[in-house]
């Protein structure tokens, strides 16, 4: 996540080079060229007249925007949950065991509890014979005692009788029920689980920061904890803004678009570990809009809004600005250059605004929101792992912009990975995004990746 870009680049609108012959960068590849985002400086492009280029003081890099968000998201207070509800969360306390595990000396396998000195002479050829005095299995109530020269048949987990200091494995004996022949001499202590061998009282069983999975739940239950302090799932409210939007169940009229973002972003937020709530499409009435936003700020740890935020005259932006310091900025990335962030309301709840175009919304979620949610969960690893992959096609990118392109990554038969970028750089393709299993990341200082060249790939594993 180094910042090698050229933050001074002023071309804040990222463009596609789909067809214009005079605008295409030269290529000798027989594969299609992916001009992922923008008019490259090497292409035969008209330089926009100076007058047409507005001042963009809010232009910033992906890293700067991400840093601001990560520095500002709060760490929700730990809460106590039943152990099964703690699954997938991080432990937020040092769980000290009040118990010994195991709680008592017990047989580690099926066999015979004896005194080691009584079988010390046993060999495969010359067995030692002992009288068997009863049998105990796991769960039998109360301790027993063993006199010298005797053996007690024990099942795995059975309490060791007082006096016995070793368990002879059943397969080393003749399995006798009245008298038993022992063909081996284990050292004192063998095949015995001593009280406290696993966990001794007063020691820490589960540490702060440990992810709680089935094995931790097993251990917590064993030390008698049915509840545990954890880092809670952040409550994320998901809303969308746009007068063109209609609900998923409506039949859109010409010019209208179905609100897909509250569904997709709520799913993505859950996948990242949040407790996500889909509110839906924001009202267009100012008073009602203010009410909705205020109530969401009261009940959320993070508010996520998708919308196409106009440069001026946008009602949602106006209302947000009334609720606290909210800034919209051109971020040097493609897709989705316009990103918003602020901490609003009395509790300074973080509000992240992402572009309304659905592909740009999910890419922006990956880049800015998922790390923020993971930070709120207390995770140490905020970012998806990336791998280097061989690009199956030539890529062209704009200097100073970080490009995110969907692709299909697969293992190369000779080792390593190959990635096939999907599509032609138009970001608004949902069907293509649904076929992808990764994002290709082209850094700000890279303007071209040759066919066969290495690119950074971020596999989009669900839940990963």
> Which 422-451 positions form the footprint of a second copy (CB under 8 A)?
426, 428-434, 436
CA distance 164 to 236: 59
Nearer Cβ to a second copy (272/449): 272
For the chain, the straight-line distance linking the first and the last C-alpha, in angstroms and rounded, comes to 19
Give the number of residues in contact with a second copy, rule: CB under 8 A: 129
Place of tokens 């970012």: 383
* Span interacting with a second copy, options 62-70, 223-231, 345-353, 373-381, rule CB under 8 A: 223-231
Instruction: Return the residues of window 253-292 that contact a second copy according to CB under 8 A.
Output: 253-261, 263-268, 270-271, 278
Is residue 193 close enough to count as binding a second copy by CB under 8 A? yes
209 torsion bin: left (phi>0), alpha (psi -120 to 50), beta (else): left
Instruction: Return the residues of window 20-59 that contact a second copy according to CB under 8 A.
Output: 20-23, 39, 45-49, 51-54
Query: Shortest Cβ distance from residue 411 to a second copy (Å)?
Result: 11
CA distance 235 to 379: 16
Query: Shortest Cβ distance from residue 355 to a second copy (Å)?
Result: 9
Among 335, 464, 336, smallest CA distance to 406 is for: 335
In contact, 235 and 301? CB cutoff 8 Å: yes
Nearer Cβ to a second copy (64/210): 210
Nearer Cβ to a second copy (39/344): 39
CA distance 13 to 41: 14
Query: Shortest Cβ distance from residue 160 to a second copy (Å)?
Result: 11
In contact, 385 and 461? CB cutoff 8 Å: no
Is residue 16 close enough to count as binding a second copy by CB under 8 A? yes
Instruction: Return the residues of window 83-112 that contact a second copy according to CB under 8 A.
Output: 83-84, 87-88, 101-104, 108-110
Is residue 251 close enough to count as binding a second copy by CB under 8 A? yes
In contact, 340 and 309? CB cutoff 8 Å: yes
* Span interacting with a second copy, options 229-237, 285-293, 320-328, 356-364, rule CB under 8 A: 356-364
Instruction: Return the residues of window 292-321 that contact a second copy according to CB under 8 A.
Output: 308, 310
Nearer Cβ to a second copy (368/449): 368
Is residue 213 close enough to count as binding a second copy by CB under 8 A? yes
In contact, 368 and 254? CB cutoff 8 Å: no
* Span interacting with a second copy, options 25-33, 196-204, 295-303, 395-403, rule CB under 8 A: 196-204
Is residue 177 close enough to count as binding a second copy by CB under 8 A? no
The string over 281-300, giving b where at least 16 C-beta atoms fall within 10 Å of a residue's C-beta and e elsewhere, is: bbbeeeeebbebbeebbeeb
The site string for a second copy over 386-425 (x = CB under 8 A, - otherwise) reads ----------------------------------------
Query: Shortest Cβ distance from residue 292 to a second copy (Å)?
Result: 19
DSSP 190-255: TTEE-TTSSB-TTSEEE-TT-B--HHHHHHHHHTT-SEEEEPPPPEEEEEEE-TTEE-TTS-PPTT
Nearer Cβ to a second copy (119/376): 119
Among 6, 29, 123, 295, the residue binding a second copy under the rule CB under 8 A is: 123
Distances, alpha carbon 28 to alpha carbons 31, 247, 394, 450, in Å:
9, 46, 10, 10
Is residue 138 close enough to count as binding a second copy by CB under 8 A? yes
């Amino acid at each position: 996540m180094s910042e090698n870009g050229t933050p001074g680049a002023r071309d804040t609108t990222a463009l596609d080079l789909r067809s214009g012959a005079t605008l295409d960068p030269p290529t000798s590849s027989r594969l299609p060229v992916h001009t992922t985002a923008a008019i490259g400086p090497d292409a035969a492009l008209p330089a926009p007249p100076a007058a047409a280029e507005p001042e963009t003081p809010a232009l910033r890099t992906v890293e700067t925007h991400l840093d601001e968000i990560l520095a500002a998201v709060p760490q929700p207070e730990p809460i106590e949950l039943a152990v099964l509800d703690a699954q997938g969360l991080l432990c937020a306390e040092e769980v000290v065991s009040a118990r010994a595990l195991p709680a008592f000396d017990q047989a580690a396998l099926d066999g015979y509890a004896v005194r080691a000195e009584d079988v010390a002479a046993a060999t495969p050829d010359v067995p030692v014979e002992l009288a068997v005095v009863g049998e105990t299995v796991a769960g039998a109530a109360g301790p027993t005692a063993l006199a010298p020269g005797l053996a007690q048949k024990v099942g795995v987990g059975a309490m060791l009788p007082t006096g016995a200091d070793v368990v002879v494995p059943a397969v080393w004996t003749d399995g006798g029920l009245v008298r038993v022949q022992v063909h081996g001499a284990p050292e004192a202590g063998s095949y015995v689980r001593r009280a406290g061998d696993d966990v001794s009282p007063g020691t820490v069983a589960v540490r702060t920061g440990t992810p709680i999975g089935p094995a931790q739940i097993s251990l917590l239950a064993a030390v008698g904890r049915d509840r545990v302090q954890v880092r809670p799932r952040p409550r994320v409210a998901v809303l969308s803004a746009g007068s063109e939007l209609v609900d998923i169940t409506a039949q859109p009229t010409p010019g209208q678009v179905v609100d897909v973002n509250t569904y997709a972003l709520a799913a993505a937020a859950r996948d990242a570990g949040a407790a996500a709530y889909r509110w839906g499409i924001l009202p267009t009435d100012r008073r009602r809009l203010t009410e909705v936003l205020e109530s969401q700020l009261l009940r959320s740890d993070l508010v996520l809004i998708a919308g196409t935020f106009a440069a001026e005259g946008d009602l949602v932006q106006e209302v947000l600005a009334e609720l606290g310091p909210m800034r919209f900025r051109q971020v040097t990335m493609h897709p989705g250059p316009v990103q918003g962030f602020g901490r609003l309301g009395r509790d300074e709840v973080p509000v992240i605004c992402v572009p309304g175009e659905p592909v740009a919304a999910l890419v922006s979620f990956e880049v800015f929101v998922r790390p923020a949610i993971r930070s709120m969960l207390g995770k140490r690893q905020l970012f998806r792992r990336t791998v280097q992959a061989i690009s199956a096609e030539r890529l062209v990118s704009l200097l100073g912009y970080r490009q995110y392109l969907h692709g299909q990554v697969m293992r190369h038969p000779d080792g390593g990975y190959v990635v096939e970028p999907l599509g032609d750089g138009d970001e608004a393709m949902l069907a293509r995004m649904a076929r992808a299993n990764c994002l290709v990341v082209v850094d700000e200082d890279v303007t071209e990746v040759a066919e066969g060249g290495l690119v950074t790939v971020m596999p989009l594993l669900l839940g990963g």
